[in-house]
Structure 1
Amino acid sequence: MMTAAAPVLPVRTPRHGQTRQLLVDTAMRLFRDGGYEKTTMRAIALAAGVSVGNAYYYFGSKDELVREFYGQLQAEHLARCLPLLREGQSLGEHLRAILGAGLDVLGPYHGFGPVFVSAAMGTSVPAGAPARQASVELFREAVRRSRPLPPLAVRASLPDLLSLLHRGITLYWAYDSSPRQERTRRLIANGVPLVAKLVVLARLPVVRKIIEETAGLIRGEKA
């Protein structure tokens, strides 16, 4: 009895990475020009000069394309922020730098901001996804370089909490229709000092308990 032939898969060569990136770049252009909902995987493959089967080999859905692109934006965000995190600066200064740079990186793609929120940051995305882990590590570095250092009792929990804050800011940005998303920028300008004060107040048992319980909820989400 004859057995079915195994499917022929693309060989992983340097061209493999080039094709993958071509699909991402083409998808983002089509999303900007025609909208996310109206753009199909077939249209992306056609515009990229790739067969539909090959496109699905690299990415199983449009959401996967968005997650890949969001991961690249996170890498760009990290590269922009690290030189801005200087030893001796306050946590508030570091937060303003990180959150402001985040808006600058995402800015050109505000037209389909809600798609980012749904595909790249939604509940279907694992808590341990690379983009989320990169965000936590960025805030961990911000905490480590801050002076004065945050209270020891909450220092280990802060990166997760600040990453969650960043996700909330991104959600607000996605639906902010003000010019250049100025409302989001004001939210950062007014909110960062409050966050910095709350961290200082973490020396008080009642505030520390709230922070610890919130961090516990986040750790439960990751489990």
Structure 2
Amino acid sequence: MSSSASDDASARPASKGERTRQRILETALSMFAERGYDKTTMRAIAGEAGVSVGNAYYYFKSKEHLIQGFYEQATMRHAELAPAVLEGQATLADRIEAALLAWLDIAGPYHDFAGQFFRNAADPSSPLSPFSEESAESRERDIALYREVLEGSKTKVPGDMADILPEMLWLHQMVVVLYWVYDDSPDQEKSRELARRTAPLVARVVALSRLKILRPLVKQGEELIRDFLITRRPK
């Protein structure tokens, strides 16, 4: 992906505090890639970023919250790219695929150390969990993107399913993300192939949700998601 210099400039944080926060985050991600997540300390990050340790902790309460910053940054970039990647994509399958591939492009540079921080994310009490309260804003941002994916497609979505289907599509993305974490193929091409091959299947399931005969099954799936997966909402 490429972008113009003017686009990059307009996307830069405006205030001094925002620029400092961004510098700390970018420094941390670079050091995680070079040294590994577990071997990189907040003190080392602060030193490399040219700020005091106290200042680093002012912007990020812990090293885990630096990864939370990455999640936030990634979902914001994902939302920014959505209009361009979805433009001209009419079918739901194509729109799902485009959204998934865009996320893989954004996350790609961080793959080398993804497994390290995803081990932390597997801890239900960790703020890195995609289901945590700390992740709520980023999670909702990506769910909103998949609402856009649905609304711009030719597939008609039943009114009573309009709320849960974007969450189901986000969960599909989480499956692709989990595969991507462990994907050792060149440039994680297998993850891209997984996105391409599962997008039509998911789109088909969404289309079938309109059939009355399948509505009880779809409703059961909705209840499972609400009761066991999407359980935490921003307050």
**TM range, smaller chain:** 0.7 to 0.9
Question: Following superposition, which runs of at least 4 residues in structure 1 exceed 4 angstroms of deviation?
Answer: none
State which of 188, 193, 217 in structure 2 corresponds to 1:186: 193
Query: What value does the CA root-mean-square deviation take over the aligned residues?
Result: 2.2
**Cα separation, 2, equivalents of 1:149 and 1:88:** 15
Instruction: Report if aligned partners of 1:88, 1:148 keep a CA contact under 8 Å in 2.
Output: no
Separation in 2 of the partners of 1:127 and 1:209?
33
Q: Which residue of 2 aligns with 1:149?
A: 156
- Residue 198 of structure 1 corresponds to 205
Q: Which amino acid aligns with 2:219?
A: E
Distance 2:117 2:171 in 1: 16
2: CA distance, partners of 1:193 / 1:211: 18
2:232 is matched with which residue? 222
Q: Quick one: distance in 2 between partners of 1:108 and 1:55?
A: 23
Q: Rg: which structure is higher?
A: 1
Q: Mapping of 1:78-93 within 5 angstroms?
A: 78-86=79-87, 89-93=90-94
Offset from partner CA, 1:52-100 (integer Å, 9 cap, x none): 1121121111110111122111111111122233477011111011001
Tell which deviates more after alignment, 149-158 or 183-192: 149-158
**Does residue 133 of structure 1 match 2:140?**
yes
- 1:67-146 alignment, distance < 5 Å: 67-86=68-87, 89-117=90-118, 118-119=120-121, 122=129, 125-126=132-133, 129-146=136-153
TM-score, normalised with respect to structure 2:
0.81
Q: Compute the displacement of 1:35 (Å).
A: 0.7
- 3-state SS in 2 of match to 1:222: coil
Residues 118-165 of structure 1, C-alpha deviations (whole Å, 9 max, x = no match) = 447526622861110001100111111110323444333210110111
Describe the shift of the 1:93–1:152 C-alpha distance in structure 2 as closer, same or farther (beyond 3 A): same
Q: What is the aligned residue count?
A: 211
The 3 A distance-change label for structure 1 pair 14 and 123 is closer
SS in 1 for 2:90: coil
Shift of 1:186: 1.5
| Cα displacement (A) at 1:205 | 3.7
Q: Residues of 1 paired with 2:104 and 2:173: CA distance?
A: 10
* Letter of the structure 1 residue corresponding to residue 136 of structure 2: A
SS at match of 2:33: helix
Matched, 1:34 2:3: no
Deviation per CA, 1:91-112: give whole Å up to 9, x if none: 1111011001111111111011
Residues 176 and 18 of structure 1: CA distance in aligned 2, closer, same or farther (over 3 Å): same
Counterpart contact for 1:88–1:147, Cα < 8 Å: no
Distance 1:222 1:146, change over 3 A: same
Give, in whole Å, the separation in 2 of the partners of 1:87 and 1:103: 20
TM-score by length of 1: 0.85
Check the 8 A contact 1:86/1:145 in 2, yes or no: no
Say if 1:153 and 1:208, in contact at 8 Å, map to a contact too: no
Cα 1:123–1:90 change in 2 (3 A) is closer
1:20–1:34 distance in 2 versus 1, CA, 3 Å: same
Percent identity, aligned pairs only, is 39
| Change beyond 3 A, Cα 1:121–1:210 | farther
